[in-house]
């Protein structure tokens, strides 16, 4: 059986139903259908075209995995290693034996989780390849799950993956958008893995909050204040996004400053500068 995925976002589709005319995730205002129209592909097609998964160490206990050459959204998956097992975070839209071997080399994987629907990738194929490990999906994003024939577990609010590794639903980009808080990361200072919910900027000192990144739709001041308040009680120093974008240190300060700046701009406080 061929398992199709959208060539634009890399998210897998249900193999037991006909392919839709358009990928629902890409037809939404947060994404886009390419000018040439909807295209579908398969992992086998990508492999035949020379795509492969490349791994690198982000920091001790944290490993990145991305597709080379780049395809679809191009996110980086992260493998978070804990004494209880590893989490595969924001799974890429590609998997093969070499990629599975690389991930499994860090110890047993106990869960696969996407921070939000754009990052679901081929999470079911990853789960199957890793021994049918649970696929954690925020209940609020259930309707975006195009493939649900795997061992999906829905959660809301907070979910402990392992001691010291917890998912937190912050909403914003999607209602179920989540971050992963890794308490032992950054030499014990704590790491926040944020997907698109809190996006480290190129200046490596500030973050952004958007409903749509490709279409540049902002979030309201109220939502950004809510996100910042939700995360303020967590202990973390480093913020890591899903495109190798990082706030190396002082993550709390970066989050607070950036939230305040965002709110000031969208409420008109800086209109005199425009």
pLDDT tens for residues 216-274? Answer: 999 999 999 999 999 999 999 999 999 999 999 999 999 999 999 999 999 999 999 99
Range list of H helices, the chain: 24-27, 43-48, 97-104, 123-129, 185-188, 221-231, 251-266
* pLDDT of 23 higher than 80: yes
Q: Which residues on adjacent β-strands are paired with residue 193?
A: 180, 240
* pLDDT of 1 higher than 90: no
* pLDDT of 169 higher than 90: yes
Question: How many Cβ atoms from other residues are within 10 Å of residue 219's Cβ?
Answer: 22
pLDDT tens for residues 70-129? Answer: 999 999 999 999 999 999 999 999 999 999 999 999 999 999 999 999 999 999 999 999
Respond yes or no on whether the N-terminal peptide bond of residue 109 is cis (omega within 30° of 0): no
CA distance 134 to 274: 49
Question: How many Cβ atoms from other residues are within 10 Å of residue 98's Cβ?
Answer: 13
CA distance 198 to 196: 5
pLDDT over 70 percentage in the chain: 100
Looking at residue 179, its pLDDT comes to 98
Residues present in the chain in total: 274
With contact defined as beta carbons under 8 Å apart, do 170 and 222 qualify? no
Looking at residue 2, its pLDDT comes to 83
Indicate yes or no: pTM above 0.85: yes
Tokens of residue 156, six digits: 């809301």
**Chain-wide mean pLDDT for the chain?**
97
Long-range pairs of 106-110 with CB within 8 A, sequence gap ≥ 24: 106/63, 106/79, 106/81, 107/81, 109/79, 109/85, 109/133, 110/84, 110/85, 110/86, 110/134, 110/161, 110/162
Question: How many Cβ atoms from other residues are within 10 Å of residue 220's Cβ?
Answer: 15
Q: How far is CA 73 from CA 38, 120, 145, 234, 242, in A?
A: 15, 11, 17, 29, 10
């Amino acid at each position: 059986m061929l398992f199709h995925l959208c060539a634009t976002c890399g998210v897998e589709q249900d193999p037991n139903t006909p392919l839709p005319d358009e990928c629902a995730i890409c037809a939404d205002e947060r994404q886009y259908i390419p000018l040439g129209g909807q295209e579908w592909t398969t992992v086998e097609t990508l492999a035949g075209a020379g795509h492969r998964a490349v791994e690198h160490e982000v920091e001790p206990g944290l490993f990145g995995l991305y597709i080379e050459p780049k395809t679809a959204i191009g996110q980086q998956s992260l493998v978070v290693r804990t004494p209880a097992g590893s989490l595969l975070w924001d799974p890429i839209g590609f998997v093969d034996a070499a990629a599975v071997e690389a991930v499994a080399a860090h110890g047993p994987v106990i869960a696969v989780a996407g921070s939000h629907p754009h990052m679901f990738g081929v999470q079911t194929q990853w789960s199957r390849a890793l021994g049918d490990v649970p696929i954690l999906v925020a209940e609020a994003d259930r309707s975006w799950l195009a493939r649900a024939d795997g061992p999906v577990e829905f959660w809301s609010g907070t979910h402990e993956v392992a001691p010291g590794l917890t998912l937190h639903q912050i909403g914003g980009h999607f209602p179920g958008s989540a971050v992963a808080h890794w308490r032992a990361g950054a030499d014990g200072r704590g790491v926040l893995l944020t997907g698109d919910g809190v996006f480290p900027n190129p200046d490596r000192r500030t973050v952004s909050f958007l409903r749509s990144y490709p279409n540049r739709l902002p979030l309201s001041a109220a939502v950004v204040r809510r996100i910042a308040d939700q995360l303020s009680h967590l202990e973390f120093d480093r913020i890591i996004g899903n495109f190798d974008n990082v706030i190396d240190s002082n993550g709390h300060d970066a989050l607070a400053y950036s939230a305040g700046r965002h709110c000031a701009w969208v409420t008109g406080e800086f209109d005199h500068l425009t």
